Structure 1
Amino acid sequence: MADKDNGPRKVTSFDVARVAGVSRAAVSRAFTPDASVSPKTREKVYQAAKELGYRVNYLARSLTNKRSDLVGLVAAGLDNPFRTMQIEHLARALLARNFRPILLPTSKEADTSAVIGQLLHYAVSGVIVTSDAPPTEICEQCAAEGVPIVLINKGEDIPFVDRIVSDDRAAGHLAADHLFESGVRAPAVMAAPVVSYTARRRSEAFLSRCRQLGLEARLIALQINDYQNGYSAAGDLETLGVDGVFCANDYMACGVVDRLMRDLGRQDTPPIRIVGHDDIPQASWAAYALTTIRQPCDLQADQTIDLLISRMAEPDMTARVEFTPVSLIKRRTA
């Protein structure tokens, strides 16, 4: 299959069909998920493709179908271990459903139009936007192009855009109840409620539940829900007289643990009770052994893709919101 002027000729589906002894249409069906083709034919096509070194050009196919099998994952805050864990589960779940994830990192400072351009350039079948990523302009532009979108842990109500939201009200109540049962009487919640929808909801639920329990809880407001802000703010906890703290996420809680242990030179447990949120892998490390609220990324990913697929099938449905349940994971810090 060489061309003396242009080098080796690119292997095509027609070549595969000839070697496999099947029609060109059978080759196409063999590489199309859920298409009607016998196992014997599919195996013959796969074997021929392997021998010839044939690969399906999904981007070229998208020009014909108007949509590719790609799904855009728009994410910010990738320094947070939870975001990495969340993206991994979403990517694996998409692959299991015969989609191909394309990750588009962004930030509040990024040029959103560039992200939109990349999404539309690849003719994506759908878009998933995680918390901390700027969604409004992305949603408006993609909706205009008829691209289904699902938001995760975001508060914006946008027509025809579905949302998956972790049960932050239950999380705040679980944290307050557990700290109270652990003997905490001067609790605080540490969060950046201005910039984060989930941090705001969790802190509001925590403060409300503390009032129901007869406790005067305080809000320690941060600029960002990250390790460094947690580490810095932890230096004031002793002065404030706080004996228990609920952190809006584990990333921040790890900073709190490290600061308290460093300042007091302790090797066992921090001097106050600490509860985090997310159950990132580091939360179970011996250095932290962090009591936390688990946000199940595997279930959340399945919920997200179920909504995305149903939105692809019925694009004019009313916008929907589904909640991901949470659970308390008890470890050494509380």
Structure 2
Amino acid sequence: MRGHKVTSFDVARRAGVSRAAVSRTFTPNASVSPETREKVIKAAKELGYRVNYLARSLINRRSDFVGVVAAGMDNPFRAMQIEQITKSLVRRNFRPILLPADQGESADHVMNQLLHYNVSGVLVTSDAPPTALCAEFAAAGVPIVLINKADTIPSVDRVISDNAAAGRLAATTLVEAGARRLAVVAAAAPSYTARCRQQAFVSACYSMQVEARVISVAVNDYDHGVAAAERLEGADGVFCVNDYMACGLIDGLRRKGNGAAEAIRVIGHDDIPQAAWSAYELTTIRQPSDLQAEQAINLLVSRMDEPSTPERVETTPVTLVRRRTA
């Protein structure tokens, strides 16, 4: 069939079955006998047939596509998170479309692209599109779940890590390790998670009558962690609101020399793979990206089935992972 675009009709003719049988074979969870499935798969392979899922979505008015919008892709935690989300979507017979959104830039063009794919839903990670744009999509009937974002939007569900517990846990762990002059390193804006962790940390220190100061940086990333190491004069315990920045801070302390890296206890957040490396052995607070992905997709599927359900919030628990740095 050189020069001819193979269709489901061609597959049906080769397999000796109906076109409906071909459609059911390539539809997840559809009823089709093993014998028919085998015939159809064999014919499809022989003809080089591939299902046009985009065309199918236009016909069915609902696709298997789910948009995943993420910013801060340089952060190893984001890579972990996206991997868990996309794997979980595929296990449930959805097809993820990943669209990166740069922090601080308009995400309108990114979100609008999703409409062209007739997506069944959208998952939005922290620091990605603004509230107003998410609200527009929800109003248009596109199910959306926000992960680690603060804003309450009608008909939009959220999954939020227990940031308050994380801040308190970091403070108590440092104090129990003997630190008394504490600092927290966090970006002043726009991260909701960073603000929550910072505020809970400072509040916990205050309740324990322990000194705590805030070292504000522009972005919660490695480079700003390195720079923050120059501003820790007098501190003996530090909480970085993510591991990516904590690794930078540890390397910054090493560059200073004079035993600075050994003199200051450091705790991070997220438990990225690098935290366990022998170069860091970072004590951290684990945010389980696998559980978070399941929570978000459960909410999304539920919203697809029951669009009028009031907005919901689920909290992802955190746990301390103790290593050498605290």
SS in 2 for 1:292: strand
Note if contact 2:225-2:246 (Cα within 8 Å) is conserved in structure 1.
Answer: yes
Corresponding residue of 1:5: none
C-alpha distance in structure 2 between counterparts of 1:72 and 1:210, whole Å: 40
Q: Give unmatched runs, 5+ long, in structure 2.
A: none
Note if contact 1:11-1:54 (Cα within 8 Å) is conserved in structure 2.
Answer: yes
Q: Give unmatched runs, 5+ long, in structure 1.
A: 3-7
SS in 1 for 2:263: coil
SS in 2 for 1:11: coil
Corresponding residue of 2:99: 104
Corresponding residue of 1:223: 218
After superposition, what is the alpha-carbon deviation per residue over 1:115-139, rounded to whole angstroms, capped at 9, x for unaligned? 1220101111100110011232331
User: Structure 2 matches for 1:292-303, cutoff 5 A?
Assistant: 292-303=284-295
User: Structure 2 matches for 1:5-84, cutoff 5 A?
Assistant: 8-84=3-79
SS in 2 for 1:15: helix
Q: RMSD in angstroms over aligned alpha carbons?
A: 1.4
Judged with a 3 Å threshold, the aligned counterparts in structure 2 of structure 1 residues 140 and 44 are, in CA distance, closer, same or farther, namely same
Note if contact 1:289-1:333 (Cα within 8 Å) is conserved in structure 2.
Answer: yes
Displacement of 1:297 after TM fit?
Answer: 0.7
Note if contact 2:107-2:128 (Cα within 8 Å) is conserved in structure 1.
Answer: no
SS in 2 for 1:74: strand
Corresponding residue of 1:154: 149
Amino acid at match of 1:289: E
Note if contact 2:64-2:93 (Cα within 8 Å) is conserved in structure 1.
Answer: yes
C-alpha distance in structure 2 between counterparts of 1:40 and 1:184, whole Å: 69
Displacement of 1:265 after TM fit?
Answer: 6.2
Identity of aligned residues (%): 64
Q: Tell me if 1:93 matches 2:88.
A: yes
How many residue pairs get aligned? The number is 326
Q: Tell me if 1:250 matches 2:280.
A: no
User: Structure 2 matches for 1:166-185, cutoff 5 A?
Assistant: 166-185=161-180
C-alpha distance in structure 2 between counterparts of 1:152 and 1:109, whole Å: 18
Corresponding residue of 2:199: 204
C-alpha distance in structure 1 between counterparts of 2:69 and 2:250, whole Å: 31
C-alpha distance in structure 2 between counterparts of 1:59 and 1:326, whole Å: 39
C-alpha distance in structure 1 between counterparts of 2:171 and 2:217, whole Å: 19
Note if contact 2:236-2:265 (Cα within 8 Å) is conserved in structure 1.
Answer: yes
Corresponding residue of 2:305: 313
Note if contact 1:193-1:203 (Cα within 8 Å) is conserved in structure 2.
Answer: no
C-alpha distance in structure 1 between counterparts of 2:302 and 2:251, whole Å: 44
Note if contact 1:275-1:291 (Cα within 8 Å) is conserved in structure 2.
Answer: yes
Amino acid at match of 2:294: D
C-alpha distance in structure 2 between counterparts of 1:316 and 1:324, whole Å: 24
Q: TM-score, normalising length from structure 1?
A: 0.94
Note if contact 1:129-1:135 (Cα within 8 Å) is conserved in structure 2.
Answer: no
Displacement of 1:42 after TM fit?
Answer: 1.9
C-alpha distance in structure 2 between counterparts of 1:23 and 1:138, whole Å: 44
Note if contact 2:215-2:231 (Cα within 8 Å) is conserved in structure 1.
Answer: no
After superposition, what is the alpha-carbon deviation per residue over 1:228-261, rounded to whole angstroms, capped at 9, x for unaligned? 1111111121x2x110001000011011000101
SS in 2 for 1:210: helix
Amino acid at match of 1:328: L
Amino acid at match of 2:255: R
SS in 2 for 1:85: helix
SS in 1 for 2:262: coil
C-alpha distance in structure 1 between counterparts of 2:247 and 2:262, whole Å: 11
Note if contact 2:253-2:261 (Cα within 8 Å) is conserved in structure 1.
Answer: no
